[in-house]
Structure formats: C-alpha cells, structure tokens
Amino acid sequence: MAAAKRSPPFRAEHAGSLLRPQELVQKRYDVAAGKADASELAPLEEKSIAEVVKMQKDTGFHVVSSGEYARHMFWGTFFEDLNGMKELQLGVLKGYDQSIFRPYAPDVKSFLESKEIPNAVTVCVGKISHSGKSSYQREIDIMKKQVPENEWKNIKVTMISPSWYHFRYKAGRSYPKEVYANDEEYFEDVAKAYQAELKYLHSQGIKNIQIDDPNLAYFCSESMLEGWAADKDNDLTADEMFDAYVKFYNKCFQRPEDLHLGIHLCRGNYVGSRHFSEGAYDNIAKKLFQDLNVDTYYLEYDTPRAGGFEPLAHLPKNKNVVLGVVTSKFPELENKDEMIARVHKAADFVAQGTGQSHEEALQQLCVSPQCGFASHAEGNALGYEDMRKKLQLVRSIADAVWPGQP
C-alpha cells in the first residue's frame, strides 16, 4: 500500500494518552480544590495540546491525539454527559456502598484491597440518551487547529468502552430496576447513544476512533473467571456474558463506512505503572477477532502476562492488529532488533491462520507502546523524554519492518 494513501492504523501507532506536563496536572488539581480559577485551565490545556501534537509529528507519527490533556482520566466524559447518568464524585470514594461492585473485577478488586473505592462512580439514574452534543467537542476543536484539514482524518479520538459502567457493577446493579428491567433494555439505549456519538464525531471530520476497553481483556484472567463462576448473582456464565458484550458492542459500533474504529484491550494502566490483570488472549481470540465489528485491535504484548502470538492465527484477512511490544510503563528501552523479530514472529501466526504469505500477513500489522503513557492524570513511572525515546523507538521499528510507510 502506498504510503501517501495509507489511512489509520499507521505502522507506527500509540494508544492515545501521553504524559501530561506537571504544570497542567497541578493546575487541574488546584482548580478542583478551589485554589485557582477555572478560567486558567483552558488556555493551559490548549497550549499543552499544541506542544504534544508537535512532539508527535517531530517523532514521525502520522496519527495524532490530544494526549487526553483535556481530561483528567482516560475514560473521559462520555457516559457522564449522557442523559440518565449521574457522576457521584470524582476522586476516591471511601465509605461508599461496596456491595454494588463485582469484588473480583480486577481493577475493583485492587482498589478494594487497598481500601479505596474505584475513582469514578458514575451510575444510571434514568433513561439513557445522547444529549445531541459531544463531550469531546472542545478537544476536537483544539486538535483541528493543530493540523491542516486534510489531516483531520488522522486525528485519533479515544472513547471508553460501552461496558465500562456495566461490568464493574454486580448483575442487575448497573441501573435501577424501575428504569430498566434487564440488561437488554439498558444495552439498547447505550447502543443508541454510541451510534449518535460516532455519527456526530464523523460529522466533525473525525475518521479515527479508538475504544479503550479493559473489560474484554479481563475475560482472559483466570482469577476473574473463578470469581465470576462463584458469584451466585450471575445469571450468565462468563462465556455467555462475553457473547452478550460482543452483540452489544456491535450495536454500539454501527458507523459510517469511512470511520476507522479500533479497540484497545488493556490489562490496567494505573498511577505508578500498575496493572490489574493477567492472561493470554487464547480464551477470547476467536470471538474477539471474528465476531466483533471493529477494524483494528490494539493489543498489549510487552510482557509474558499477555501470552504469546498464537491467538493471532484467528485474525481475519480484513482486520489489523497493532502490536504493543514496547512498554509504556518503564523508561528502559527495548532492544530494537528483538522487537523487529517479535513483529515477524507475530506475522507468522497471522499467515498461518489466513493462508497468506509472511509478507502479506505483515500488511495487517503495526507496532506501538502496549498502552497509554498516562491513562490517569499523573501517568506512568517514566519522564517526558523517556516517552519521546519510546515513541522514537516505535517509529524506528516501523521503519525497519515497513520501509517508507507511515
């Protein structure tokens, strides 16, 4: 494929979130604490986004994101801005009713063990519907100022997964019974809201969306699956719930043909480079790759906890995988030659499954860090220059494997 015509995903990719300048992090906390006026935050966000867009372009990336600098956390404000959803509190909640949560959901389990409730408790309180406006509008407006119009299609907007405020809550606790009688009714309205959001973003010239989804990856975790099986409140088995989510997501992801939609499966990326779950993709690979209606999968492959490349044999010819072989959690740089070898090894499994040649299979692959650098405000345990070097490494791996392609 000619480099000039290539659309997302690009050979050198990243997961969207980038380390925030400390000045921006502190300003947001100061505004929340009443120590600074809210009017001081917007210009700082815009300045920081302009700088991080330049950094992405200087390191040779064609995909550009806002670094998620206009939000405090990676999940943004999509659900929080829907009619029928209520954000109870930003920040850590102590003393909240813990019975609402699945205690074996990997991120929830981690917070409960540390005596902290997950730092976003947003619940359904009424019928869910799209407001007609996008909570990402300001982020998009800032981004459009940073790149020419013919590059707007390369702007990546990251969104939270449809199950974000469903999976973490126990069966039947994601919504009041007087509002929704069952999951199917709840899923139907959430799907309509996603469809409206994707249509709206497309109308704004956005053609590149990445869904951030820790939840599907949790179905690879043996401890989560054991907890699910032991939970007598669950009407569905874990396999049945995964199937229901795929069906639900496919409704959510109905979209214009020229809108590229990717999904990033994450095992946790919390402050201090912490992760929440482990497990290879084998449990879910066939359904994930063959049944889920997305164009691209952004997969973590930076440590053995993600398993091997064997599940890639289930990848169809018409889909892409972005291999997250470079870690975003720590500053040490991976060996470039070893990473190139890993990309070729992954291509072997893709070729095995599709019956293509190795070179043909390579055209379905890209390379990236395994996750964002700052899913949460403070970011991972590395510095800004470390991040720059990581991105440069990703770019150099891509140049070696796919010469001349963006």
> So what's the pLDDT on residue 275?
44
Give the whole-angstrom CA distance, residue 171 versus residue 101.
Answer: 9
8-12, 100-104, 128-132: the lowest-pLDDT one: 100-104
Distant-in-sequence, close-in-space partners of 124: CB < 8 Å, separation ≥ 6 = 84, 85, 86, 165, 174, 175, 176, 179, 180, 186
Collect all residues with Cβ–Cβ distance below 8 Å to 119 and sequence separation of at least 6: 73, 90, 91, 92, 93, 111
Compare 200 and 109 and report the one with higher pLDDT.
200
| pLDDT, tens digit (0-9, with 9 covering 90-100), for 234-280 | 999 999 999 999 999 999 999 999 999 999 998 755 444 444 556 78
pLDDT given at position 118: 56
Residue 177: band (very low, low, confident or very high) from pLDDT cuts 50, 70, 90: very high
The pLDDT value given to residue 381? 85
| Nearest CA-CA partner of 79 in 170, 175, 152, 156 | 175
- The domains of the chain, with CATH numbers, are 14-401 (3.20.20.210)
Inter-residue contact 107 to 74 (CB < 8 Å): no
Q: Mean of the per-residue pLDDT values for the chain?
A: 90
CB-based contact 326:371 (threshold 8 Å): no
Mean pLDDT value across residues 1-17: 77
Checking if the pLDDT of 203 tops 90, the result is yes
Report how far residue 330's alpha carbon sits from residue 14's, in angstroms, rounded to the nearest whole number. Answer: 15
For residue 64, give the 3-state DSSP assignment.
strand
Structure tokens that stand for 120 in this block: 């976003």
Q: Which pLDDT score, from 0 to 100, does residue 298 have?
A: 97
Q: What is the pLDDT of residues 278-303, one digit of tens each?
A: 678 998 999 999 999 999 999 999 87
Distance CA(330)–CA(260), nearest Å, equals 30
The predicted structure's pLDDT at residue 76:
82
